[in-house]
């Protein structure tokens, strides 16, 4: 996580829009879990934000508040979900297909899950070989695709009356990529996007759009994505947090 020293943490006011890239097993289990808790059909077992505690001071101090009491976090009722996927299935159909949660539970959550319909994805098979879908954006170049995402982010925020947004990459893992010279600063990165350079992966286009829109970006995959100077500089310039690597930041990388 990158937060400027001395930066104020904004209070968790109003609705928080959670923009999920990829509406597969991880995303639909997350959405269905939240909806099940809201409906009183499940308990938030295993949820860091709902159940996790943090030890303050020495072990013997016995100061172990819930994390949600220690830092301002949005309540589950304040979450609104949006998503992009290369398949047009709603979160209900995608969750049924993923087969993580019991079908009985999903049937009870059909209404809220059906409301989450994915926007067209930024996708290129070069970066995820064994996948192809129809719900994919068209654009002159990668910069134009990023602009489409930025417009969608603003539209989502307006339509859902969100105060804040966050974007999470929960899409398929992309091919292994090494940092390239075009990643060295924002100017070379944007130029490379306009030239459809192969060093710009779809995950970088989403991350660029999020950061330009002032939206924090969390990476749930081991992709290179924001781990390049151009996007780290943009995050710093915009004062926006980035975090994550394969959904394991908390365990291994912090
Ligand atoms: N499942 C886990 O326990 C777990 C744990 C740690 C990390 N991860 C990572 O999380 C990610 C998601 O895992 P999953 O199990 O949900 O996979 P999944 O295959 O069920 O879902 C991925 C979804 O992403 C979509 N997608 C692919 N490229 C896209 C793009 N460019 N834009 C929008 N959508 C796109 C796919 O169509 C699919 O619906 C993977 O990168 C995985 O490595 C998963």
Tens digits of residue pLDDT in 67-95: 999 888 999 999 999 999 999 999 999 99
- pLDDT at residue 250, rounded to an integer: 52
Tens digits of residue pLDDT in 236-248: 999 999 998 878 7
Query: What would the two tokens of residue 133 be?
Result: 């879908």
- pLDDT at residue 14, rounded to an integer: 96
Q: How far is the CA of 205 from the centre of ligand 1 (A)?
A: 16
Q: How far is the CA of 248 from the centre of ligand 1 (A)?
A: 14
Residues with CB under 6 A from ligand 1: 21-26, 84-87, 98, 121-123, 128, 131, 133, 170-173, 202, 220-221, 246-247
Burial of 105 (0-12, 13-18, 19+ CB in 10 A): middle
Q: How far is the CA of 170 from the centre of ligand 1 (A)?
A: 5
**How far is residue 4 CA from its own chain's centroid?**
21
Tens digits of residue pLDDT in 16-31: 999 999 999 999 999 9
- Hunting for tokens 């992309």 — which residue is that? 174
Indicate the average pLDDT of the chain: 93
User: Is the CB of residue 16 less than 8 Å from the CB of residue 166?
Assistant: yes
Q: Write the CA distances from 18 to 84, 99, 142, 205, integer angstroms.
A: 11, 22, 23, 18
Distance, CA of 122 to CA of 139 (rounded, Å): 9
User: In CATH, what is the architecture of 16-40+75-243?
Assistant: 3-Layer(aba) Sandwich (3.40)
Q: How confident is the model at residue 57 (pLDDT cuts 50, 70, 90)?
A: very high
Pocket test for ligand 1, best of 19, 22, 253 (most atoms within 8 A of CB): 22
Q: What percent of the chain shows pLDDT beyond 70?
A: 94
Q: How far is the CA of 174 from the centre of ligand 1 (A)?
A: 10
Q: Is the pLDDT of residue 252 over 70?
A: no
Tens digits of residue pLDDT in 137-152: 999 999 999 999 999 9
| pTM attached to this predicted model | 0.94
């Amino acid at each position: 996580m990158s937060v400027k020293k001395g930066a104020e943490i904004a209070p968790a006011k109003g609705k928080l829009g959670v923009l999920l890239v990829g509406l597969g097993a991880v995303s639909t289990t997350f959405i269905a879990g939240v909806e099940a808790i809201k409906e009183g059909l499940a308990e938030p077992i295993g949820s860091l934000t709902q159940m996790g505690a943090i030890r303050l001071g020495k072990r013997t101090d016995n100061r172990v508040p819930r994390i949600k009491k220690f830092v301002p976090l949005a309540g589950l009722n304040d979450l609104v979900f949006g998503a992009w996927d290369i398949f047009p299935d709603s979160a209900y159909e995608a969750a049924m297909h993923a087969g993580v949660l019991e079908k009985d539970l999903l049937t009870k959550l059909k209404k809220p899950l059906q409301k989450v319909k994915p926007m067209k994805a930024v996708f290129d098979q070069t970066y995820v070989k064994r996948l192809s879908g129809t719900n994919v954006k068209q654009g002159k170049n990668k910069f134009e695709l990023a602009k489409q995402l930025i417009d969608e982010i603003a539209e989502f925020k307006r339509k859902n009356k969100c105060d804040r947004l966050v974007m999470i990459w929960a899409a398929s893992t992309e091919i292994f990529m090494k940092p390239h010279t075009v990643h060295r600063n924002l100017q070379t990165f944007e130029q490379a996007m306009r030239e459809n350079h192969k060093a710009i992966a779809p995950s970088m286009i989403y991350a660029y759009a999020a950061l330009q829109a002032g939206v924090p970006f969390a990476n749930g995959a081991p992709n290179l994505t924001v781990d390049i100077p151009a996007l780290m500089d943009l995050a710093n310039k915009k004062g926006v947090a980035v975090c994550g690597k394969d959904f394991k930041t908390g365990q291994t990388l912090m």
